[in-house]
Amino acid sequence: MKQLRQYLLSRFVAASIFTLIALVGLYAFFDVIKELPRVGRGDYDAAAMLAYVALLMPGHAYELMPLAVLIGCMVAMTQLATTSEYAAIRTAGVSLGQVARTLLLFGAFAATAALLLGEFGAPWSERTAERFKLERTQSLVTREFSSGVWAKDDNNFINIDEMLPDTTLRKVRIYTYDAAFSLTRQRYAESGRYVGDGVWELTGVRDSTITPDRILVKDYPTLEWKSVLQPDILSVLLVVPEQMSAYNLFSYIEHLKANHQKTQRYEIALWSKLFYPLACISMALVALAFTPVQSRHSEMGIKLFTGICLGITFHFSNRLFGHLGLLYDWNPILSATVPSLVFLIAGLFAISRQEKR
């Protein structure tokens, strides 16, 4: 059984890797088409565009891992059925449960790979890709509103007009309010640079202290500003929540909660990040459920096509539930886990029916 397990695992790995490469290549092709209109802006030439697309590939690989596991396992099992190897395996006394355990083992390996890729590889490559593109196109990181980016830090409201890829801030305005929500101080700085330990060095500062009877204005060449806002928090503006690491998501959620801000989108992304690797296990079981028992080509073709359609449905329904959860304020855990749980239950049910036959 050990040799058989190794043989099956090698087939699953080879088919899944080939499928993943094909899917990532397809997404990269779409990325190239999307980026072509930007070529020629600043230093963003064709070589820079291809480098940017290459840096996006780990993120695509993470997103497509469950789908690649499903299609890869289905193709491998269909090939085994076509050559009658699967029939010989079952005739030799190997139960459906033993085959399922081998698929579960492969699904666990794929889940571990997805977890590592989603926590370390994809966030780093996505952040690096966006910084690289911004530097080459000589663009800003973000302008969420026409007035720039807004953040809250205790009783301070911070407005940042521009943030450069190296997290240098431009045109920073800090509005300080008292307990009665009256404006007591306003600071404007031409730029800001993070020096460590929660301290920013502001340059070209105009500091206005507001009292009931007058406004006292002072100018400083440089001024230290201590804030909970750090480059790690601001750098989330470079990456969509779905591509952030679980650690960064948790830290940013705590920051938003401390400032009484809405966390729904980031909580959904966090729970999706934690449960998404388990989808690889679900997809492996679904692949077994769609393995043809007989080697008729018509049956194999229909089952393979149906299984692939289900995998694509899962890929898009997983995103859809996240958006619906954000739109209708659903529980973040349910929004992140319902598609995976539904497919897992459906796969187990289909396997049990196949075993009864």
Asked whether residue 233 is domain-assigned, the answer is no
Asked whether residue 258 is domain-assigned, the answer is no
Asked whether residue 132 is domain-assigned, the answer is yes
What pTM value is reported for the model?
0.72
Domain boundary among 209, 227, 245: 227
Q: In this structure, are 25 and 106 located in the same domain?
A: yes
The mean predicted confidence, pLDDT, of the chain is 83
Q: State pLDDT tens for residues 158-184.
A: 888 877 656 778 889 999 988 888 899
pLDDT-above-70 percentage for the chain = 88
- With beta carbons less than 8 A apart as the criterion, state whether 228 and 237 touch: no
Integer Cα distance of 159 and 150 in angstroms: 5
Q: State pLDDT tens for residues 248-300.
A: 888 878 877 876 777 888 888 888 888 888 888 888 888 887 776 655 555 66
Phi and psi at 267, nearest 5°, equal: -70, -40
Integer Cα distance of 28 and 32 in angstroms: 6
CATH number at 220 reads: 2.60.450.10
Asked whether residue 147 is domain-assigned, the answer is no
Angle, alpha carbons 314-320-324 (nearest 5°): 140
Q: What pLDDT score was predicted for residue 355?
A: 60
Q: In this structure, are 201 and 127 located in the same domain?
A: no
Q: What pLDDT score was predicted for residue 14?
A: 94
Q: State pLDDT tens for residues 105-126.
A: 999 999 999 999 988 898 889 8
Q: What is the maximum span of the chain, computed from C-alpha positions, in angstroms? A: 94
> How many domains does the structure of the chain reveal?
2
Q: Return averaged pLDDT per consecutive 10 residues of the chain, 357 residues in all.
A: 88 94 95 90 88 94 92 88 83 84 92 91 86 70 59 82 74 89 91 87 93 89 85 64 81 78 83 86 84 60 75 80 80 82 76 65
- With beta carbons less than 8 A apart as the criterion, state whether 304 and 288 touch: no
> What domain range includes position 39?
2-138+264-356
Residue 292: which residues within 8 A CB-CB, separation 6 or more? 78, 81, 299, 300, 303
Q: In this structure, are 348 and 201 located in the same domain?
A: no
